[in-house]
Structure 1
Amino acid sequence: MEKIKFIETFSVAEFKAQKGINKIEVKQNHRTGKCFFTYGFEVGAVSEKFIKGEISQPVISQVCVQETGDMFYLLHQKGEGGAPVLATL
């Protein structure tokens, strides 16, 4: 897997408010089995943990592929991304 750098992370509600949308749809590519999400006419990536039912606290991060500089949004479990959550206050 390519190394990615997490730029900024949003709650789902914050992301929807920022983008001016009222829903996010998670879909699955029937050929590859990979999931993705749509918001308006845009598309983002979804962690492989989603299909396994391992996302209980979803967040959306803007990430950058370190080798190419490509940037995209990734829906994933809160706390993923290199820094473990030690406490939630």
Structure 2
Amino acid sequence: MVLNFAEASLINRKVTRRYNVVLEWNEPDAQDSEGGYTVLVPSLPPVVTEGDTREEALANAREAIACFLEYLIITGQPIPPDDEKGDNLVEVTV
């Protein structure tokens, strides 16, 4: 299996980052009888996810952040720096 430089770097070196996430509760309504959480990551604007519970939403946020960071690494793009503070810091290692 041949790897390019970015893929080899991804395999050989782990990167850990912490990002603040914003959880928004969505009230149940006629279209969505259960409600749930939407998660935004201000430092990573493309990353948006959701979950039925707070725990599920945070787990989905970790997965979405990890996928986005892996994409940045593979495509040779810079990884945004850690968020220094926030109410909901999520740590991800890729």
Structure-2-length-normalised TM-score: 0.28
Higher helix share: 2
Higher strand share: 1
Structure-1-length-normalised TM-score: 0.29
Higher alpha-carbon Rg: 2
Structure with bigger RCO (C-alpha 8 Å, 6+ apart): 2
